[in-house]
Chain A
């Protein structure tokens, strides 16, 4: 049983006109086996929350805490966070020229598991995971994200998820830019991961569409750097029919 506990988190970014606060008091607990959807309008700080959990140096945590099973995540290096079981799938993955998918995945697995997986076992493991995501085996030899379609990039992230088996997975807009078929396959991958691993999932999304395929236990509405409302899956339906306007109108600090 694991839990990622975020308490009153404030974080800012340095801009040309000085520091700018983006996270303004986020409190959220993600337990293993549970899926939390975080939904909010553009620019509300959802990606920033994901980056801060993963330890991106661009953002400064000014107050609050993040703990994973009682350990202070903020005190860990980025590397240690990955090893402790945190995984971030980025909204805009970039290319890694010259590094094949298979090499990339094995290196990541080495970093997370603390030792290199045996090559023969590894290839088998990777092939099975790729099969489950309906990926062409030739994909393993292509360079990471180079010339990938939007769907391939996202499938690659879900492949990492299934091989690295984190305790807590943070998926930042894994659904954006996917057509319906790709969305279904990616969602099935996420669901398979959830069923097989008892991990906790933080599903950041802008659209309610993915929630037709992945049913969240809790839905949070994220506006202006904080959670303004939490509820069950029915909250997503409210957002679908009413949009974010009602929540955006709460007075800003």
Chain B
């Protein structure tokens, strides 16, 4: 058994093991099983010799391999049902794309059960610098528990689509783990329409810097369908990106959807760019939607981080939750390497209705399929007002600056003499962090080409920069090093001045 190295997020798996006995039979009280109708999943809790294995037609890229001869995977099941399935599955569906191979046509894997209850294991590996699209069409006529283990080679570009369509009668339990290689790009989409009880656990981890992953989902639940999507993105490599967008619609009594979005940005994952969103539309009064985004940051040195969740009835404006203040960089050098951690608990499942502008332009920024990295920026107009705590005065050395992300914006918090200032961290001349520059009187000098910016106005005082840098209101509560620095993340309107003054 591997006890996963700590600390996982509230909901993320705690144990990874191929041994069934390492997992207790869930009672429904466990965090990860608390929404699921575990009483209906009994057939997958204990090994069953009568269970079949899911099979697929062999093609140029797809093969069936006897489980005993299959290549080992580094991945291990993280719950009871997938451990039972992994131990019991007799044949493995493999999908292979060679290094540098570009496959233009989608590789379609149509799964078929061989009994009424089935185990499944899919092993998908695409080589470095390859490009492919893999579509998995599930068999809605049988019960299945299984896993999809995907490996995206360095620099590869893989798009996958998983479709569960058909009658709402059967049980579908899937773990879908993807390892994203260095500089690789992965898109994993799920479309969940059929199934009586569906529980899909997509997880992503990165094997090197520069990887990006998009997890996209669309689901429709009619009573009495239960559809759960439980996501875990584990950022442990620098300069990686993740974008998680799930949208659902529900109607009828007994329809129930659950969306759990866990994103963990570990300490070493500097430069991470992450965003997750779930939107649920209730078409009538019958259904229930639970939605729990959970973003945990162990480092403050991220490019961008955010989440949103909303559940609301049709024909009202989309309900958007007020943003949760995100994270701080805790403790400076003096804190002796104190853990940087700030939890951003998800909102209550029943989202509060708030009349704010719909954020449609954020989604319209998406352009499916291109190599554009997931990218999003917080709207400035979504009701953020007021000051947010950032750090203590003592966290910043006198006459120096430190970079913090405040409500999604990278800022240089600057101590200049007795004053404390907040200025956008990016030099207006080029892509350079102002916090790395030098504080000189009431100005901060960009290290790259030496433009100095007035900390009180954001105005450039010397070339080459000609545009001002946004500045923010600061207040300091208390005295001495313990005084709390708070910043209002809405920029103060630019003060225009002639360059070079």
Contacts A92-B210, A149-B373, A150-B371 known; 18 new A-B pairs at CB < 8 A: A16-B336, A16-B337, A56-B436, A57-B436, A77-B450, A78-B449, A78-B450, A82-B449, A96-B428, A96-B429, A96-B431, A99-B430, A104-B429, A176-B183, A177-B155, A177-B185, A182-B371, A206-B182
- Tell me whether A94 and B426 are in contact (CB under 8 A): yes
Question: Within the assembled complex, what's the spacing in Å between the Cα atoms of A96 and B465?
Answer: 12
- Tell me whether A96 and B436 are in contact (CB under 8 A): no
- Tell me whether A92 and B373 are in contact (CB under 8 A): no
Q: How large is the interface on A (under 10, 10 to 19, 20 to 34, 35 or more residues)?
A: 35 or more
Question: Within the assembled complex, what's the spacing in Å between the Cα atoms of A180 and B99?
Answer: 12
List which B428-464 residues lie within 8 A (CB) of chain A.
428-431, 436-437, 447-450, 463-464
Q: Could you say which of A58, A96, A98 contacts B430, with CB atoms under 8 Å apart? A: A96
- Tell me whether B210 and A176 are in contact (CB under 8 A): yes
- Tell me whether B129 and A180 are in contact (CB under 8 A): yes
- Tell me whether A147 and B375 are in contact (CB under 8 A): yes
Question: Within the assembled complex, what's the spacing in Å between the Cα atoms of A98 and B155?
Answer: 31
A234 on interface, CB distance cutoff 8 Å: no
Question: Within the assembled complex, what's the spacing in Å between the Cα atoms of A79 and B450?
Answer: 7
How many residues belonging to B are interface residues under a CB distance threshold of 8 Å?
42
Residues in B neighbouring A107, C-beta threshold 8 A = 429, 463-466
Question: A210: shortest Cβ distance to chain B, in Å?
Answer: 11
B489 on interface, CB distance cutoff 8 Å: no
B136 on interface, CB distance cutoff 8 Å: no
Binding site for B on A (CB under 8 A): 16-17, 42, 55-58, 77-79, 82, 90-99, 103-104, 107-108, 110-111, 144-145, 147-151, 176-180, 182, 206-207, 209
Residues in B neighbouring A55, C-beta threshold 8 A = 447
Main secondary structure of the interface of A (DSSP, over half): loop
Residues in A neighbouring B371, C-beta threshold 8 A = 149-151, 177, 179, 182
- Tell me whether B431 and A94 are in contact (CB under 8 A): yes
Interface membership of chain B positions 329-371, coded 1 if the CB is closer than 8 angstroms to chain A and 0 otherwise: 0000100110000000000000000000000000001000011
Question: Within the assembled complex, what's the spacing in Å between the Cα atoms of A157 and B431?
Answer: 12
- Tell me whether A56 and B431 are in contact (CB under 8 A): no
Residues in B neighbouring A144, C-beta threshold 8 A = 430-431
- Tell me whether B436 and A58 are in contact (CB under 8 A): yes
Residues in B neighbouring A147, C-beta threshold 8 A = 365, 372, 375
Considering only CB atoms, which chain A residue lies closest to B304 in the complex? A95
Question: Within the assembled complex, what's the spacing in Å between the Cα atoms of A77 and B451?
Answer: 12
Considering only CB atoms, which chain A residue lies closest to B465 in the complex? A107
Residues in B neighbouring A78, C-beta threshold 8 A = 447-450
The verdict on A209 contacting B467 (CB below 8 Å), with A96-B430, A177-B183 known, is no
